[in-house]
Amino acid sequence: MRISTSLLTKISLDAMLNQQAQLSDTQLQVTTGKQILSPSDNPYGSARSLDLQEAIGLNEQYLANAGYAQNRLTLEESSLVGVGNAVQRIRELMIYANNDSQTAESRRFIKEEVDQLLDQVLSLSNATDSNGEYIFAGYQGKTKPFAVDGAGNYSYFGDKGARLIKMSGSTSVAMGDSGEGTFLSIKNGNGTFKTKDLATNTGTAIVDPGTVYGTYVPDNYQVKFIPPQSGDLKDPLEYYVLDGQGDIIVPAANAGNAEAAYLGGVAIRANVGIPYQEGAVIQGLDALGIKISISGTPVIDTNPPITETSPFPPASGNFLFVNPGDGFDINPSNFQSLFATVKNFSDTLASSQGTDTDLTRFHNAMNRALIDMDQSLGRVLDIRSRIGARLNTVDKQMEINESFSLQMNETLSSIQDLDYAEAITRMNLQLTGLQAAQNAYTKIQDLSLFNYI
Protein backbone atom coordinates (compact mmCIF):
# COMPACT_ATOMS: atom_id res chain seq x y z
CA MET A 1 0.00 0.00 0.00
CA ARG A 2 1.42 3.35 -0.98
CA ILE A 3 0.90 6.39 1.21
CA SER A 4 1.29 9.70 -0.44
CA THR A 5 3.01 12.61 1.20
CA SER A 6 -0.22 14.61 1.24
CA LEU A 7 -2.09 11.79 3.02
CA LEU A 8 0.64 11.45 5.57
CA THR A 9 0.54 15.18 6.17
CA LYS A 10 -3.24 15.14 6.55
CA ILE A 11 -3.13 12.29 9.04
CA SER A 12 -0.52 14.08 11.14
CA LEU A 13 -2.38 17.38 10.96
CA ASP A 14 -5.70 15.78 12.00
CA ALA A 15 -3.97 14.11 14.92
CA MET A 16 -2.52 17.40 16.11
CA LEU A 17 -5.83 19.23 15.72
CA ASN A 18 -7.59 16.51 17.67
CA GLN A 19 -5.00 16.76 20.44
CA GLN A 20 -5.39 20.53 20.45
CA ALA A 21 -9.19 20.24 20.66
CA GLN A 22 -8.97 17.85 23.61
CA LEU A 23 -6.42 20.07 25.31
CA SER A 24 -8.62 23.12 24.69
CA ASP A 25 -11.63 21.36 26.25
CA THR A 26 -9.59 20.35 29.27
CA GLN A 27 -8.23 23.88 29.66
CA LEU A 28 -11.80 25.25 29.51
CA GLN A 29 -12.89 22.74 32.15
CA VAL A 30 -10.04 23.84 34.43
CA THR A 31 -10.91 27.48 33.82
CA THR A 32 -14.67 27.08 34.51
CA GLY A 33 -14.42 24.36 37.12
CA LYS A 34 -17.16 22.42 35.30
CA GLN A 35 -16.77 19.05 33.72
CA ILE A 36 -19.87 19.41 31.52
CA LEU A 37 -19.31 22.20 29.02
CA SER A 38 -22.16 21.31 26.67
CA PRO A 39 -25.07 18.86 26.79
CA SER A 40 -23.24 16.62 24.32
CA ASP A 41 -20.45 16.07 26.87
CA ASN A 42 -22.86 14.17 29.16
CA PRO A 43 -26.53 14.15 28.04
CA TYR A 44 -27.79 12.38 31.18
CA GLY A 45 -25.67 14.54 33.47
CA SER A 46 -26.87 17.70 31.72
CA ALA A 47 -30.53 16.75 32.13
CA ARG A 48 -29.97 15.76 35.73
CA SER A 49 -28.17 19.05 36.42
CA LEU A 50 -31.10 21.05 35.03
CA ASP A 51 -33.52 19.15 37.27
CA LEU A 52 -31.33 19.74 40.30
CA GLN A 53 -30.89 23.44 39.51
CA GLU A 54 -34.65 23.84 39.21
CA ALA A 55 -35.17 22.06 42.54
CA ILE A 56 -32.51 24.18 44.20
CA GLY A 57 -34.02 27.40 42.83
CA LEU A 58 -37.50 26.40 44.04
CA ASN A 59 -36.10 25.48 47.44
CA GLU A 60 -34.35 28.84 47.67
CA GLN A 61 -37.71 30.52 47.04
CA TYR A 62 -39.25 28.38 49.79
CA LEU A 63 -36.46 29.51 52.10
CA ALA A 64 -37.15 33.15 51.19
CA ASN A 65 -40.88 32.58 51.85
CA ALA A 66 -40.11 31.05 55.23
CA GLY A 67 -37.89 33.98 56.12
CA TYR A 68 -40.63 36.45 55.19
CA ALA A 69 -43.21 34.46 57.19
CA GLN A 70 -40.85 34.35 60.15
CA ASN A 71 -40.34 38.13 60.06
CA ARG A 72 -44.05 38.85 59.72
CA LEU A 73 -45.06 36.43 62.49
CA THR A 74 -42.36 37.89 64.74
CA LEU A 75 -43.77 41.38 64.13
CA GLU A 76 -47.29 40.14 64.90
CA GLU A 77 -46.04 38.48 68.07
CA SER A 78 -44.32 41.72 69.10
CA SER A 79 -47.53 43.69 68.48
CA LEU A 80 -49.61 41.25 70.52
CA VAL A 81 -47.09 41.38 73.35
CA GLY A 82 -47.77 45.10 73.49
CA VAL A 83 -51.53 44.55 73.32
CA GLY A 84 -51.32 41.91 76.05
CA ASN A 85 -49.33 44.21 78.32
CA ALA A 86 -51.87 47.01 77.79
CA VAL A 87 -54.81 44.67 78.43
CA GLN A 88 -53.13 43.31 81.56
CA ARG A 89 -52.64 46.84 82.83
CA ILE A 90 -56.29 47.68 82.11
CA ARG A 91 -57.33 44.59 84.04
CA GLU A 92 -55.23 45.71 87.01
CA LEU A 93 -56.90 49.11 86.84
CA MET A 94 -60.32 47.40 86.82
CA ILE A 95 -59.57 45.62 90.07
CA TYR A 96 -58.15 48.82 91.52
CA ALA A 97 -61.16 50.91 90.47
CA ASN A 98 -63.68 48.34 91.72
CA ASN A 99 -62.50 48.88 95.29
CA ASP A 100 -64.89 50.93 97.42
CA SER A 101 -61.96 52.90 98.77
CA GLN A 102 -61.83 54.73 95.42
CA THR A 103 -63.73 57.96 94.88
CA ALA A 104 -65.43 59.27 91.76
CA GLU A 105 -62.52 61.66 91.31
CA SER A 106 -59.83 58.97 91.58
CA ARG A 107 -61.78 56.85 89.12
CA ARG A 108 -61.71 59.73 86.64
CA PHE A 109 -57.92 59.70 86.91
CA ILE A 110 -57.98 55.97 86.23
CA LYS A 111 -60.20 56.63 83.22
CA GLU A 112 -57.54 58.91 81.72
CA GLU A 113 -54.94 56.12 81.84
CA VAL A 114 -57.46 53.62 80.46
CA ASP A 115 -58.21 55.90 77.50
CA GLN A 116 -54.48 56.23 76.77
CA LEU A 117 -54.08 52.45 76.90
CA LEU A 118 -57.03 52.08 74.54
CA ASP A 119 -55.31 54.41 72.07
CA GLN A 120 -52.18 52.29 72.40
CA VAL A 121 -54.13 49.11 71.63
CA LEU A 122 -55.67 50.81 68.59
CA SER A 123 -52.21 51.83 67.35
CA LEU A 124 -50.85 48.28 67.78
CA SER A 125 -53.87 46.82 65.98
CA ASN A 126 -52.85 48.94 62.96
CA ALA A 127 -49.24 47.69 62.95
CA THR A 128 -47.50 47.16 59.59
CA ASP A 129 -44.81 44.78 58.37
CA SER A 130 -41.56 45.56 56.52
CA ASN A 131 -43.49 45.95 53.26
CA GLY A 132 -45.85 48.52 54.74
CA GLU A 133 -48.78 46.06 54.77
CA TYR A 134 -51.14 46.02 57.75
CA ILE A 135 -50.66 42.84 59.77
CA PHE A 136 -54.24 42.53 61.04
CA ALA A 137 -56.12 43.50 57.86
CA GLY A 138 -56.58 39.98 56.50
CA TYR A 139 -56.37 39.97 52.70
CA GLN A 140 -56.72 43.78 52.64
CA GLY A 141 -53.05 44.39 53.41
CA LYS A 142 -53.01 47.93 52.04
CA THR A 143 -56.12 49.01 54.00
CA LYS A 144 -55.81 50.40 57.51
CA PRO A 145 -57.95 47.92 59.46
CA PHE A 146 -59.19 49.86 62.51
CA ALA A 147 -60.47 53.38 62.98
CA VAL A 148 -62.48 55.26 65.61
CA ASP A 149 -64.95 58.05 64.98
CA GLY A 150 -65.70 61.10 67.12
CA ALA A 151 -68.39 59.24 69.06
CA GLY A 152 -65.97 56.54 70.18
CA ASN A 153 -67.27 53.88 67.78
CA TYR A 154 -64.65 51.50 66.41
CA SER A 155 -64.87 50.18 62.84
CA TYR A 156 -63.01 47.38 61.05
CA PHE A 157 -62.16 47.72 57.36
CA GLY A 158 -60.24 44.47 56.86
CA ASP A 159 -61.67 41.00 56.32
CA LYS A 160 -61.53 37.55 57.89
CA GLY A 161 -58.82 36.23 55.57
CA ALA A 162 -55.43 34.85 56.59
CA ARG A 163 -52.86 34.70 53.80
CA LEU A 164 -50.94 31.44 53.45
CA ILE A 165 -47.38 31.16 52.19
CA LYS A 166 -45.78 27.96 50.88
CA MET A 167 -42.55 26.79 52.47
CA SER A 168 -42.38 23.44 50.66
CA GLY A 169 -44.42 21.45 48.22
CA SER A 170 -46.66 20.23 51.04
CA THR A 171 -46.26 22.81 53.83
CA SER A 172 -47.96 26.19 54.06
CA VAL A 173 -48.34 28.54 57.01
CA ALA A 174 -50.61 31.48 57.76
CA MET A 175 -48.54 34.66 57.83
CA GLY A 176 -50.85 36.40 60.27
CA ASP A 177 -54.27 36.63 61.88
CA SER A 178 -57.12 38.86 60.84
CA GLY A 179 -58.21 41.71 63.06
CA GLU A 180 -61.70 40.25 63.05
CA GLY A 181 -60.55 37.07 64.77
CA THR A 182 -58.04 38.80 67.03
CA PHE A 183 -59.88 41.87 68.29
CA LEU A 184 -63.56 41.57 67.35
CA SER A 185 -65.06 38.08 67.59
CA ILE A 186 -64.55 37.63 71.32
CA LYS A 187 -67.33 36.08 73.39
CA ASN A 188 -68.33 38.24 76.34
CA GLY A 189 -69.37 37.03 79.79
CA ASN A 190 -67.69 33.78 80.73
CA GLY A 191 -67.61 32.75 77.08
CA THR A 192 -70.84 30.73 77.35
CA PHE A 193 -73.32 33.01 79.08
CA LYS A 194 -73.36 36.48 80.62
CA THR A 195 -75.13 37.91 83.64
CA LYS A 196 -76.53 41.42 83.98
CA ASP A 197 -78.58 43.38 86.50
CA LEU A 198 -81.87 44.82 85.32
CA ALA A 199 -81.85 48.54 84.57
CA THR A 200 -84.74 48.96 87.03
CA ASN A 201 -82.85 47.52 90.03
CA THR A 202 -82.79 49.78 93.07
CA GLY A 203 -81.23 47.47 95.69
CA THR A 204 -77.64 46.56 96.43
CA ALA A 205 -77.65 43.04 94.99
CA ILE A 206 -74.66 42.07 92.86
CA VAL A 207 -74.54 39.01 90.60
CA ASP A 208 -71.34 37.09 89.83
CA PRO A 209 -70.33 36.16 86.24
CA GLY A 210 -71.21 32.55 86.87
CA THR A 211 -69.67 29.32 85.60
CA VAL A 212 -70.81 26.54 83.31
CA TYR A 213 -72.05 23.58 85.31
CA GLY A 214 -72.59 20.42 83.28
CA THR A 215 -74.37 20.84 79.95
CA TYR A 216 -75.44 24.40 79.21
CA VAL A 217 -78.91 24.89 77.72
CA PRO A 218 -78.92 28.24 75.88
CA ASP A 219 -81.85 30.55 76.63
CA ASN A 220 -82.63 33.97 78.06
CA TYR A 221 -83.21 33.35 81.75
CA GLN A 222 -84.23 35.77 84.50
CA VAL A 223 -84.05 35.70 88.27
CA LYS A 224 -86.57 37.97 90.02
CA PHE A 225 -87.37 38.68 93.67
CA ILE A 226 -90.70 38.68 95.49
CA PRO A 227 -91.82 39.13 99.14
CA PRO A 228 -91.71 36.09 101.45
CA GLN A 229 -94.80 33.92 101.20
CA SER A 230 -95.27 34.27 104.94
CA GLY A 231 -95.97 37.99 104.51
CA ASP A 232 -93.52 38.71 107.32
CA LEU A 233 -90.67 40.78 105.92
CA LYS A 234 -88.43 39.63 108.73
CA ASP A 235 -88.25 36.42 106.73
CA PRO A 236 -85.87 36.20 103.75
CA LEU A 237 -87.06 37.47 100.42
CA GLU A 238 -87.85 34.84 97.80
CA TYR A 239 -87.03 34.50 94.13
CA TYR A 240 -88.24 32.68 91.06
CA VAL A 241 -86.58 31.87 87.72
CA LEU A 242 -88.04 32.36 84.23
CA ASP A 243 -87.05 30.88 80.89
CA GLY A 244 -86.91 32.77 77.60
CA GLN A 245 -90.63 32.27 76.99
CA GLY A 246 -91.55 33.90 80.31
CA ASP A 247 -92.52 30.60 81.95
CA ILE A 248 -91.58 29.56 85.47
CA ILE A 249 -88.63 27.17 85.93
CA VAL A 250 -88.51 27.29 89.71
CA PRO A 251 -90.18 26.92 92.09
CA ALA A 252 -90.82 23.43 90.81
CA ALA A 253 -94.45 23.47 91.98
CA ASN A 254 -95.19 26.18 89.40
CA ALA A 255 -92.85 25.01 86.63
CA GLY A 256 -94.30 25.74 83.20
CA ASN A 257 -96.76 28.36 84.44
CA ALA A 258 -96.77 31.81 82.83
CA GLU A 259 -95.24 34.58 84.94
CA ALA A 260 -98.46 36.58 85.18
CA ALA A 261 -100.43 33.61 86.53
CA TYR A 262 -97.67 32.81 89.02
CA LEU A 263 -97.53 36.42 90.29
CA GLY A 264 -101.27 36.43 90.69
CA GLY A 265 -100.87 33.61 93.20
CA VAL A 266 -97.95 35.41 94.88
CA ALA A 267 -100.12 38.51 95.42
CA ILE A 268 -102.60 36.47 97.48
CA ARG A 269 -99.80 34.40 99.07
CA ALA A 270 -100.96 31.25 97.37
CA ASN A 271 -97.65 30.70 95.57
CA VAL A 272 -94.26 30.46 97.18
CA GLY A 273 -90.76 31.24 95.83
CA ILE A 274 -87.28 30.02 96.75
CA PRO A 275 -85.89 31.65 99.93
CA TYR A 276 -82.98 33.95 99.04
CA GLN A 277 -79.68 33.28 100.78
CA GLU A 278 -76.88 35.70 100.06
CA GLY A 279 -74.04 33.99 98.16
CA ALA A 280 -75.97 30.72 97.71
CA VAL A 281 -76.24 29.09 94.28
CA ILE A 282 -79.47 30.03 92.51
CA GLN A 283 -81.64 26.93 92.33
CA GLY A 284 -83.08 25.61 89.09
CA LEU A 285 -80.35 27.00 86.83
CA ASP A 286 -77.79 24.36 87.79
CA ALA A 287 -79.85 21.77 85.92
CA LEU A 288 -79.49 23.98 82.82
CA GLY A 289 -75.70 24.20 83.05
CA ILE A 290 -75.63 27.54 84.92
CA LYS A 291 -74.10 28.13 88.31
CA ILE A 292 -74.48 31.68 89.64
CA SER A 293 -74.90 33.35 93.00
CA ILE A 294 -76.07 36.77 94.14
CA SER A 295 -74.78 38.82 97.03
CA GLY A 296 -76.15 41.93 98.67
CA THR A 297 -79.69 43.01 99.36
CA PRO A 298 -82.28 43.09 96.57
CA VAL A 299 -85.37 45.30 96.74
CA ILE A 300 -88.97 44.22 96.14
CA ASP A 301 -91.62 46.50 94.68
CA THR A 302 -94.25 47.14 97.33
CA ASN A 303 -96.51 49.95 98.41
CA PRO A 304 -95.23 51.47 100.60
CA PRO A 305 -91.64 50.64 99.54
CA ILE A 306 -89.94 48.28 101.96
CA THR A 307 -86.93 46.01 101.93
CA GLU A 308 -85.74 42.91 103.66
CA THR A 309 -83.72 45.10 105.99
CA SER A 310 -86.43 47.65 106.77
CA PRO A 311 -86.03 48.57 110.45
CA PHE A 312 -89.71 48.35 111.22
CA PRO A 313 -91.32 45.93 108.78
CA PRO A 314 -95.09 46.15 108.89
CA ALA A 315 -97.09 43.37 110.36
CA SER A 316 -98.12 40.49 108.17
CA GLY A 317 -100.52 41.63 105.51
CA ASN A 318 -99.87 45.37 105.86
CA PHE A 319 -98.12 45.85 102.54
CA LEU A 320 -99.32 45.67 98.97
CA PHE A 321 -97.22 43.67 96.50
CA VAL A 322 -97.04 45.65 93.23
CA ASN A 323 -94.54 44.02 90.82
CA PRO A 324 -91.47 41.80 90.99
CA GLY A 325 -88.57 43.72 92.44
CA ASP A 326 -84.91 43.54 91.50
CA GLY A 327 -83.81 40.94 89.01
CA PHE A 328 -81.00 39.67 86.84
CA ASP A 329 -80.69 38.43 83.26
CA ILE A 330 -78.67 35.37 82.23
CA ASN A 331 -78.23 35.36 78.44
CA PRO A 332 -76.05 33.43 75.99
CA SER A 333 -72.71 35.13 75.34
CA ASN A 334 -72.35 37.11 72.13
CA PHE A 335 -69.43 38.66 70.32
CA GLN A 336 -67.91 41.84 71.70
CA SER A 337 -64.73 43.55 70.54
CA LEU A 338 -61.77 44.27 72.75
CA PHE A 339 -62.27 47.96 71.98
CA ALA A 340 -65.91 47.83 73.13
CA THR A 341 -64.91 46.07 76.34
CA VAL A 342 -62.35 48.75 77.22
CA LYS A 343 -64.73 51.52 76.13
CA ASN A 344 -67.47 50.09 78.39
CA PHE A 345 -65.03 50.11 81.28
CA SER A 346 -64.02 53.69 80.56
CA ASP A 347 -67.67 54.78 80.41
CA THR A 348 -68.42 52.96 83.65
CA LEU A 349 -65.63 54.87 85.41
CA ALA A 350 -67.37 58.11 84.42
CA SER A 351 -70.84 56.94 85.48
CA SER A 352 -72.78 58.33 88.44
CA GLN A 353 -71.68 56.89 91.80
CA GLY A 354 -73.49 59.13 94.26
CA THR A 355 -75.98 56.68 95.81
CA ASP A 356 -75.92 53.07 96.97
CA THR A 357 -78.00 52.14 93.92
CA ASP A 358 -75.48 53.90 91.66
CA LEU A 359 -72.56 52.12 93.33
CA THR A 360 -74.32 48.76 93.03
CA ARG A 361 -74.93 49.39 89.33
CA PHE A 362 -71.26 50.43 89.05
CA HIS A 363 -69.99 47.24 90.69
CA ASN A 364 -72.22 45.05 88.54
CA ALA A 365 -70.88 46.81 85.45
CA MET A 366 -67.31 46.42 86.70
CA ASN A 367 -67.82 42.70 87.27
CA ARG A 368 -69.05 42.36 83.68
CA ALA A 369 -66.13 44.41 82.37
CA LEU A 370 -63.65 42.30 84.31
CA ILE A 371 -64.92 38.97 82.98
CA ASP A 372 -65.14 40.45 79.46
CA MET A 373 -61.54 41.64 79.77
CA ASP A 374 -60.49 38.16 80.85
CA GLN A 375 -62.02 36.84 77.63
CA SER A 376 -60.11 39.45 75.60
CA LEU A 377 -56.84 38.67 77.35
CA GLY A 378 -57.47 34.99 76.79
CA ARG A 379 -57.97 35.63 73.07
CA VAL A 380 -54.68 37.56 72.84
CA LEU A 381 -52.84 34.73 74.59
CA ASP A 382 -54.54 32.17 72.36
CA ILE A 383 -53.45 34.01 69.21
CA ARG A 384 -49.92 34.31 70.58
CA SER A 385 -49.80 30.56 71.23
CA ARG A 386 -50.89 29.93 67.63
CA ILE A 387 -48.15 32.28 66.41
CA GLY A 388 -45.63 30.38 68.51
CA ALA A 389 -46.77 27.10 66.96
CA ARG A 390 -46.44 28.60 63.47
CA LEU A 391 -42.99 29.98 64.23
CA ASN A 392 -41.92 26.51 65.36
CA THR A 393 -43.25 25.11 62.09
CA VAL A 394 -41.35 27.77 60.14
CA ASP A 395 -38.10 27.08 62.01
CA LYS A 396 -38.35 23.34 61.45
CA GLN A 397 -39.23 23.77 57.78
CA MET A 398 -36.30 26.14 57.30
CA GLU A 399 -33.98 23.49 58.76
CA ILE A 400 -35.48 20.91 56.41
CA ASN A 401 -35.13 23.23 53.41
CA GLU A 402 -31.53 24.12 54.27
CA SER A 403 -30.64 20.43 54.65
CA PHE A 404 -32.38 19.66 51.35
CA SER A 405 -30.53 22.52 49.64
CA LEU A 406 -27.19 21.21 50.94
CA GLN A 407 -27.92 17.69 49.67
CA MET A 408 -29.05 18.94 46.27
CA ASN A 409 -25.97 21.15 45.89
CA GLU A 410 -23.73 18.24 46.82
CA THR A 411 -25.43 16.03 44.25
CA LEU A 412 -25.20 18.77 41.62
CA SER A 413 -21.53 19.28 42.43
CA SER A 414 -20.81 15.58 41.99
CA ILE A 415 -22.36 15.72 38.52
CA GLN A 416 -21.03 18.95 37.05
CA ASP A 417 -18.08 20.11 39.16
CA LEU A 418 -14.57 19.27 37.98
CA ASP A 419 -12.06 17.01 39.69
CA TYR A 420 -9.08 19.34 39.40
CA ALA A 421 -6.43 16.71 40.16
CA GLU A 422 -7.72 14.41 37.44
CA ALA A 423 -8.22 17.29 34.98
CA ILE A 424 -4.71 18.74 35.47
CA THR A 425 -3.13 15.31 35.14
CA ARG A 426 -5.14 14.73 31.98
CA MET A 427 -4.17 18.16 30.64
CA ASN A 428 -0.48 17.43 31.19
CA LEU A 429 -0.83 14.13 29.36
CA GLN A 430 -2.66 15.82 26.50
CA LEU A 431 -0.01 18.54 26.35
CA THR A 432 2.72 15.91 26.20
CA GLY A 433 0.82 14.05 23.49
CA LEU A 434 0.39 17.26 21.50
CA GLN A 435 4.09 18.04 21.75
CA ALA A 436 4.97 14.51 20.63
CA ALA A 437 2.59 14.80 17.68
CA GLN A 438 4.12 18.13 16.71
CA ASN A 439 7.64 16.70 16.90
CA ALA A 440 6.62 13.67 14.83
CA TYR A 441 4.97 15.90 12.26
CA THR A 442 8.16 17.98 11.97
CA LYS A 443 10.31 14.91 11.35
CA ILE A 444 7.81 13.52 8.84
CA GLN A 445 7.89 16.82 6.96
CA ASP A 446 11.69 16.46 6.66
CA LEU A 447 11.33 13.13 4.85
CA SER A 448 11.75 13.62 1.07
CA LEU A 449 13.30 11.55 -1.80
CA PHE A 450 14.86 14.72 -3.06
CA ASN A 451 17.20 14.55 -0.09
CA TYR A 452 18.72 11.41 -1.62
CA ILE A 453 19.14 12.53 -5.24
Least confident of 137-146, 299-308, 311-320: 311-320
Task: Count Cα atoms within 13 angstroms, Cβ side, for 443.
Answer: 6
Higher pLDDT: 37 or 326? It is 326
- Res 334 pLDDT > 90: yes
d(CA 344, CA 358): 16
d(CA 146, CA 183): 10
Could you tell me the pTM of the whole model? 0.79
- Res 25 pLDDT > 80: no
Contacts of 57 (CB under 8 A, 6+ apart): none
DSSP letters for 237-277: PEEEEE-TTSBEEESGGGTT-BHHHHHHHHHTT-S--EEP-
Indicate the pLDDT class of residue 445, thresholds 50, 70 and 90.
Answer: low
Stretch 94-119: mean pLDDT:
92
Contacts of 125 (CB under 8 A, 6+ apart): 79, 83, 136, 145, 146, 179, 182, 183
Least confident of 80-89, 225-234, 304-313, 429-438: 304-313
d(CA 332, CA 219): 7
d(CA 197, CA 348): 14
272 and 233 in contact (C-beta within 8 Å)? no
pLDDT digit string, tens, across residues 384-420: 999 999 999 999 999 999 998 888 877 776 666 665 6
d(CA 248, CA 240): 7
pLDDT of residue 407: 86
Beta bridge partners of 327: 224
Stretch 201-208: mean pLDDT:
92
- Res 342 pLDDT > 50: yes
pLDDT of residue 339: 96
**Considering the chain, what percentage of its residues have pLDDT values greater than 70?**
79
Stretch 47-70: mean pLDDT:
86
Higher pLDDT: 450 or 152? It is 152
d(CA 453, CA 448): 10
pLDDT digit string, tens, across residues 164-199: 999 988 899 998 899 999 999 999 999 999 999 999
The residue count of the chain comes to 453
pLDDT of residue 180: 93
Least confident of 13-17, 138-142, 268-272: 13-17
**Considering the chain, what percentage of its residues have pLDDT values greater than 90?**
53
- Res 104 pLDDT > 70: yes
Put residue 191 in one of left, alpha, beta given phi > 0 → left and psi -120 to 50 → alpha.
left
pLDDT of residue 50: 77
Indicate the pLDDT class of residue 315, thresholds 50, 70 and 90.
Answer: very low
d(CA 368, CA 206): 11
Contacts of 439 (CB under 8 A, 6+ apart): none
